[in-house]
């Protein structure tokens, strides 16, 4: 019913979509997978009208259409559910749901808030969310926001006569397991009213939910498989163009850590409502993973080690010295490196090139009396571009223009080249494709072998189990349990979840 034929999209220097054929039937759930940079997001933008294709045709029920902007696409029943945080947080829930379509509640220029609230409640009921539509969105949890987002798209039902096509872009990335299940149940129920295009990096979820799966690579659709015949390995093979190592998390490379050398330790540290009475030691070569749900305090602990948060009580010791001043600067001086979750916000500076980003934390080392030695900076960048096989035309390339995986490598190179030996990884593989993930895992092992202590907040539990020497499970800011994860004797998912919830 909705179909793309030979759709082409070019940007200066990039052929982003090459003659894409894509179709979706009524009530169907279609999965869309591919590495970062394979063209998924460009394809989605073409579908929901943010981009106009350079060639090819788009048809709905065999009628050719062309969208100048997302609004026109919506009028044809195409809606987009964005990744988390795409709601405008200073507005109320109902305002977000009807943003751009308030006219239906307007009489003589006046918005009838009561009518809007009632309508919003009806939409929220579709996604089984029982909240006050008059709430400010900022006060919702991430999972709730995701559902509001879906409710918002479902308003298309009342507005559009024809069929709906709803794009779900990484809808599960911030959701807990049971929330994911709820979402999936909902989506399945909703197939009576709409078709879905489901984009995710989590292959198992794609397989679970989709009827058919499109596999993209380098701007092309390389395979279309029905879920019944799908096989994770085969799809991953198509996506990456190579075999995925069975030992995905590089367990075979996990070496015991140096128990005598403590790099960082917490002693009964508390910070407001974020966490309480936390104690642990991070040893050289250890990968210590903090596991817990969103809001369990894991990120706050990382940020405390780095110096971005100041604890209320307890003592934090870095390399034998108790930390007095909690600033990022003192953290960096102590050899702490922070790989934040928001790569583009905190990880690197878009608008600055590769070598400028790499030396950002260590300019003192590349300068004499405040004057930078540009030659050495560039040399350093070239070395690390080789070492981590960062895909960039040169060290002069603007980091904002690199793909997610390569950006992450630049961030890691920044800390490693500066000799940081306490590395804090906050969701280091978030949003990365399999190939890039594997590169990150390799780097984790390499750092560990070099005697670097790594404090990790993993993207998935599997990742946490696979990578760690030690796992600390947190709940509501308190330590629940500590697992040793020697190779071969790792805890199971169930073990962790048991303590998490």
Partner 1 sequence: MNDLLTRDMLVKWAPLIVLIVLVLMFALIEPRFFSVRNFARIGISSAPALMVAIGVTFIIIMGSIDLSMEGTVSVCAVAFAFCFLALGGTLWSAAWLALPLALVVGAVIGLINGLVHVKLKIPSFMASLAMGFVGTGFALLLTGGDRVRIEDEAFRSLLTVRWFNFPIMCYVALAFLLIAWFIQTRTTLGRNFYAVGGGEELAHASGLNVNRVRVLGFMLAGVFYAVGALLAVGRIGIAETATGSNFMFVSITSVVVGGTALWGGIGGVFNTLIGVLIVNVIGNGMVVVGLPGYVQDGVLGLLVIIAVVLSTDRKSVDFVK
Partner 2 sequence: MTLERLKPHLPWITLLALVLVVGIGDSNFLKPQNLIAMAADIVPLFIMALGMTFAIYIGGIDLSAQSVANMTTVIATVALPLFGPFTALLCIVAGLALGGVSGYVTTRLLVPSFISTLAIGGIAYSIGQYLSGQRALYMDAAMRDGYFGWMVGSSFGIPHELFIGAVLVIAAYFVQSRTVFGRSLKAVGAGEPAAVASGINVARIKIMAFAISGALAAIAGLLFSVKLSGGSPTIANGFLLPAIVAVLVGGTPLTGGVGGVINTLIGTLIVAVIRSSMLYFEVDATRQQMVFGLVLIIAIAMTIDRSKLRVVK
Give the CA-trace dihedral at 127, 130, 136, 138, to 10 degrees: -70
- Residue 103, binding choice from partner 1, partner 2, none, Cβ under 5 to 8 Å by partner class: partner 1
Asked if residue 111 binds partner 1 (CB under 8 A), the reply is: yes
Spatial neighbors of 235 by CB under 8 A, at least 6 apart, are 33, 203, 213, 215, 223, 225
Q: Which is nearer to partner 2, 92 or 408 (CB)?
A: 408
- Residue 106, binding choice from partner 2, partner 1, none, Cβ under 5 to 8 Å by partner class: partner 1
Helix (H) or strand (E) holding 168: strand 164-169
Q: What is the CA radius of gyration of the chain?
A: 24
Among 109, 370, 375, 488, binds partner 1 (CB under 8 A): 109
- Residue 351, binding choice from partner 1, partner 2, none, Cβ under 5 to 8 Å by partner class: partner 2
Distance between CA atoms of 162 and 314, rounded to whole angstroms? Answer: 61
- Sole residue written with tokens 């305090």: 297
Asked if residue 70 binds partner 1 (CB under 8 A), the reply is: yes
Asked if residue 110 binds partner 1 (CB under 8 A), the reply is: yes
Closest by Cα among 282, 280, 386, 373 to 335: 282
Distance between CA atoms of 426 and 289, rounded to whole angstroms? Answer: 10
Q: Which is nearer to partner 1, 90 or 192 (CB)?
A: 90
Instruction: Please calculate the CA angle 204-210-215 and round it to the nearest 5 degrees.
Output: 75
- Residue 476, binding choice from partner 2, partner 1, none, Cβ under 5 to 8 Å by partner class: none
- Residue 60, binding choice from partner 1, partner 2, none, Cβ under 5 to 8 Å by partner class: none
Q: Are 216 and 226 in contact (CB under 8 A)?
A: no
What is the closest distance, in whole angstroms, from the C-beta atom of residue 308 to partner 2 in the complex? 7
Within 229-258, the residues that bind partner 1 by CB under 8 A are none
Q: Which chain residues interact with partner 2 by CB under 8 A?
A: 12, 306, 308, 327-329, 331-333, 338, 340, 342, 345-352, 356, 359-361, 363-364, 367, 370-372, 374, 414
Among 102, 255, 294, 450, binds partner 1 (CB under 8 A): 102
Here's the x/- map for partner 1, 146-175, by CB under 8 A: it reads as ------x-----------------------
- Residue 88, binding choice from partner 2, partner 1, none, Cβ under 5 to 8 Å by partner class: partner 1
Q: Which is nearer to partner 1, 156 or 187 (CB)?
A: 156
- Reduced to 3 states (helix: H, G, I; strand: E, B; else coil), residue 290 is strand
Applying CB under 8 A, what is the total number of residues that bind partner 1? 26
- Residue 89, binding choice from partner 2, partner 1, none, Cβ under 5 to 8 Å by partner class: partner 1
Query: What is the strand order of the sheet 275-284 is part of?
Result: 275-284, 258-271, 313-318, 321-322
What is the closest distance, in whole angstroms, from the C-beta atom of residue 101 to partner 1 in the complex? 7
Residues in a beta bridge with 481 = 473
Stretch that binds partner 1, among 56-64, 87-95, 218-226, 413-421 (CB under 8 A): 87-95
Q: Which is nearer to partner 1, 84 or 376 (CB)?
A: 84
Distance between CA atoms of 380 and 413, rounded to whole angstroms? Answer: 10
Distance between CA atoms of 249 and 106, rounded to whole angstroms? Answer: 56
Asked if residue 188 binds partner 1 (CB under 8 A), the reply is: no
- Residue 86, binding choice from partner 1, partner 2, none, Cβ under 5 to 8 Å by partner class: partner 1
- Sole residue written with tokens 């394979």: 38
Helix (H) or strand (E) holding 260: strand 258-271
Q: Which is nearer to partner 2, 163 or 356 (CB)?
A: 356
Query: What is the strand order of the sheet 63-65 is part of?
Result: 14-24, 2-11, 55-60, 63-65
Q: Are 143 and 179 in contact (CB under 8 A)?
A: yes
Distance between CA atoms of 136 and 88, rounded to whole angstroms? Answer: 9
Asked if residue 350 binds partner 1 (CB under 8 A), the reply is: no
Q: Which is nearer to partner 2, 154 or 423 (CB)?
A: 423
- Sole residue written with tokens 């100041």: 310
Q: Which is nearer to partner 2, 167 or 410 (CB)?
A: 410
Asked if residue 349 binds partner 1 (CB under 8 A), the reply is: no
What is the token pair recorded at 176? Answer: 């807990």
What is the closest distance, in whole angstroms, from the C-beta atom of residue 152 to partner 1 in the complex? 7
What is the closest distance, in whole angstroms, from the C-beta atom of residue 310 to partner 2 in the complex? 14
Q: Which is nearer to partner 2, 362 or 470 (CB)?
A: 362
Q: Are 33 and 213 in contact (CB under 8 A)?
A: yes
Spatial neighbors of 357 by CB under 8 A, at least 6 apart, are 348, 349, 399, 410, 411, 414
Q: Which is nearer to partner 2, 49 or 340 (CB)?
A: 340
Q: Are 98 and 118 in contact (CB under 8 A)?
A: no
Binding residues for partner 1, per CB under 8 A?
Answer: 50, 69-71, 74, 80, 82, 86-91, 95-96, 99-103, 106, 109-111, 113, 152
């Amino acid at each position: 019913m909705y179909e793309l034929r030979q759709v082409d999209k070019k940007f200066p220097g990039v052929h982003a979509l090459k003659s894409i054929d894509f179709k979706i039937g009524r009530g169907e759930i279609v999965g869309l997978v591919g590495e970062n940079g394979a063209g998924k997001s460009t394809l989605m933008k073409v579908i929901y009208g943010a981009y106009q294709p350079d060639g090819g045709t788009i048809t709905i029920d065999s009628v050719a259409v062309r969208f100048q902007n997302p609004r026109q696409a919506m009028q044809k029943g195409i809606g987009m559910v964005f990744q988390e945080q795409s709601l405008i947080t200073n507005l109320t829930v109902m305002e977000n749901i009807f943003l751009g379509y308030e006219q239906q509640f307007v009489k003589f220029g006046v918005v009838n808030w009561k009518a809007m609230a009632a309508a919003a409640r009806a939409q929220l009921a579709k996604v089984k969310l029982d909240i006050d539509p008059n709430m400010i969105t900022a006060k919702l949890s991430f999972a709730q926001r995701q559902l509001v987002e879906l409710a918002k798209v479902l308003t298309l039902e009342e507005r559009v006569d024809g069929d709906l096509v709803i794009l779900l872009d990484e809808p599960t990335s911030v959701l807990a397991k049971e929330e994911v299940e709820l979402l999936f149940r909902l989506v399945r129920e909703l197939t009576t009213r709409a078709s879905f295009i489901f984009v995710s990096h989590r292959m198992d979820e794609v397989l679970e939910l989709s009827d058919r799966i499109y596999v993209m690579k380098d701007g092309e659709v390389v395979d279309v498989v029905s879920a019944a015949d799908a096989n994770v390995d085969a799809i991953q093979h198509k996506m990456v163009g190579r075999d995925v190592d069975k030992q995905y998390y590089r367990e075979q490379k996990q070496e015991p850590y140096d128990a005598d050398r403590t790099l960082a330790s917490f002693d009964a540290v508390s910070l407001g409502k974020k966490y309480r009475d936390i104690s642990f030691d991070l040893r050289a070569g250890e990968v210590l993973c903090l596991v817990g749900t969103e809001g369990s305090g894991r990120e706050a602990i990382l940020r405390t080690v780095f110096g971005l948060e100041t604890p209320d009580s307890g003592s934090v010791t870095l390399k034998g010295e108790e930390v007095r001043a909690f600033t990022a600067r003192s953290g960096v001086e102590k050899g702490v490196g922070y790989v934040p979750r928001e790569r583009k916000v905190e990880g690197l500076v878009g608008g600055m090139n590769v070598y400028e980003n790499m030396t950002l934390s260590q300019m003192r080392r590349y300068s004499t009396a405040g004057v930078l030695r540009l030659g050495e900076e560039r040399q350093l960048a070239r070395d690390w571009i080789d070492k981590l096989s960062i895909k960039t035309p040169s060290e002069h390339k603007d980091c904002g223009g690199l793909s997610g995986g390569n950006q992450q490598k630049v961030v890691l190179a920044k800390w490693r080249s500066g000799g940081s030996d306490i590395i804090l990884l906050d969701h280091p593989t978030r949003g990365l494709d399999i190939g890039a993930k594997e590169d990150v895992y390799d780097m984790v092992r390499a750092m560990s072998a070099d005697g670097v202590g790594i404090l990790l907040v993993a993207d998935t539990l599997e990742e946490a189990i696979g990578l760690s020497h030690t796992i600390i499970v947190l709940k509501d800011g308190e330590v629940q349990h500590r697992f040793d994860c020697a190779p071969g004797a790792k805890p199971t998912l169930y073990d962790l979840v048991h303590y998490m919830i």
